[in-house]
Amino acid sequence: MGNKQTTFTDEQLEAYQDCTFFTRKEILRLHSRYRELAPHLVPLDYTNNPDIRVPLTLIVTMPELKENPFRDRIVETFSEDGQGNLTFNDFVDMFSALCETSPRELKTIYAFKIYDYNRDNFICKEDLEKTLNKLTKGELTPEEVALVCDKAIEEADLDADNKLSFADFENMISKAPDFLSNFHVRI
């Protein structure tokens, strides 16, 4: 790829490397992956930054996301229009935040956004219920779900407002042993 036709100019690649955790090769690979999703939509030539969006339904078919219970939320979170249509920038952004080298702080922020279903900047009980039901494929009884959600809030809620603010979330996540190893996607 890119043998005959340049996909990005050198400046673009440099800029992407400055803005993400990827190397040049990975960015090019990301582009080819992006293009695979919708070959008719995405041009090979990206030197003039075409404004093209790939819809959510196509994005979530990627093997990296296919099995993820939160795939829709992830894509929505990273899309600029909030509905899951990703430009290439968003696409790179998504995998950069989820890649192995991105720092805990950044991941925490995005994790918070992902789990905040109703986008009110708090993880409230409904958000937790949704998360839990996705995680367990709805195999817990409503009472169990309620109990778990109550417990989770009770554990992590520092300011006692019965929902998790980002501070609560960060505090909780920063101590979690598995967060970093589990919250990453390799491309």
Partner 1 sequence: MPPKRKNDTAIKVEDVGMDVDAVLDSGSEEEARRRTKNRRIKPQRKAKQVSDDEEEEEEDEAPKKRGRKKKPKPQDSDEDDEEDKRSVKSKGSKVSRKKAQKDDSDEESEEDRGKRKKGGAVSKKEKEEQNKDKKGNPKERRRDSKGGDKDKKKKNGKLSSSSDSGESDEDSLSEGELAALKEQVEEKKKLIATLRNKPWRMKRRLVLLKEAQEFVEKFEGALGKGRGRKLYAFKVMMTKKFIKFKRDFENFKTACIPWERKIKEVESHFGSSVASYFIFLRWMYGVNLVLFGLMFGLVVLPEVLMGLPYGSIPRKTVPREEQDSAMDFSVLFDFGGYCKYSILFYGYYNNSPTIGVLKFRLPLSYLLVGVGIFGYSLMVVVRMMARNANEGGDGADEGEFTFSWKMFTSWDYLIGNPETADNKYASITTSFKESIVDEQENQKDENIHLRRFLRVLANLMILCCLGGSGYLIYYAVKRSQEFSKMDPDDLSWLQKNEVEIVMSLLGLVCPPLFETIAELEKYHPRIALKWQLGRIFALFLGNLYTFLFALFDEVTAKLESEKIIKNATEWGLNEYYANYSSFYNTTNVPPPNVDPADVVRGPCWETAVGIEFVKLTVSDIQVTYLTILIGDFLRAVTVRFLNYCWCWDLEAGFPSYAEFDISGNVLGLIFNQGMIWMGAFYAPGLVGLNVLRLLTSMYYQCWAVMACNVPHERVFKASRSNNFYMGLLLLVLFLSLLPVVYTIMTLSPSFDCGPFSGQDKMYDVVMETIEKDLPAFIGNIFTYATNPGLIMPAVLLMVLALYYLNTTSKGYQQANLDLKKKMQMARDEEKNRRNNKDSTNQVMKDLEDLLPNKSLVPPPTEEEPPPPDVVTEKGSKSPKTKPGSATKGVNLQKEVSLAASNPRGPVTRAPGPRGGPPGNTRGPQPGPGRGRGAPPRK
Instruction: Report 129-168 residues binding partner 1 (CB under 8 A).
Output: 131-132, 135-137, 139-140, 144, 147-148, 151-152, 155-156, 158-161, 164-168
Which residues in the 89-108 window bind partner 1 by CB under 8 A?
Answer: 89-90, 92-93, 96-98, 102-103, 105-106, 108
Of the candidate residues 60, 109, 124, 125, the single one contacting partner 1 (CB under 8 A) = 109
Q: Are 149 and 163 in contact (CB under 8 A)?
A: no
Task: Report residue 59 as tokens.
Answer: 């994005």
**Contacting residues for 12 by C-beta, under 8 A, at least 6 apart:** 46, 47, 49
> Nearest approach, Cβ of 129 to partner 1 (angstroms)?
10
Query: Concatenated DSSP letters for 141-175?
Result: -HHHHHHHHHHHHHHH-SS-SSSB-HHHHHHHHHT
Which residues within the stretch 39-58 sit at the binding site for partner 1 (CB under 8 A)?
none
- Contact region with partner 1 (CB under 8 A), list: 1-9, 34-42, 52-60, 76-84: 76-84
61 binds partner 1 (CB under 8 A): no
Question: If we measure between CA atoms, which residue out of 122, 110, 128, 132 comes closest to residue 161?
Answer: 122
Which CB, 40 or 48, lies closer to partner 1? 48
Chosen residue from 3, 4, 39, 178 binding partner 1 by CB under 8 A: 178
Of 1, 2, 5, 24, which one interacts with partner 1 (CB under 8 A)? 24
CB of 88 to partner 1, least distance (A): 9
To the nearest whole angstrom, how small is the minimum distance from the Cβ of residue 116 to partner 1?
A: 8
In single-letter form, the type of residue at position 143 comes to E
Query: Contacts from 33-38 at CB under 8 Å and sequence distance 24+?
Result: 33/62, 33/187, 34/88, 34/91, 37/61, 37/62
Q: Judged by CB under 8 A, does residue 2 bind partner 1?
A: no
The DSSP code sequence of 8-37 is S-HHHHHHHHHHSS--HHHHHHHHHHHHHH
Region of 1-9, 37-45, 53-61, 64-72 interacting with partner 1 (CB under 8 A): 64-72
User: From the CB of 104, what's the least distance to partner 1, in Å?
Assistant: 8
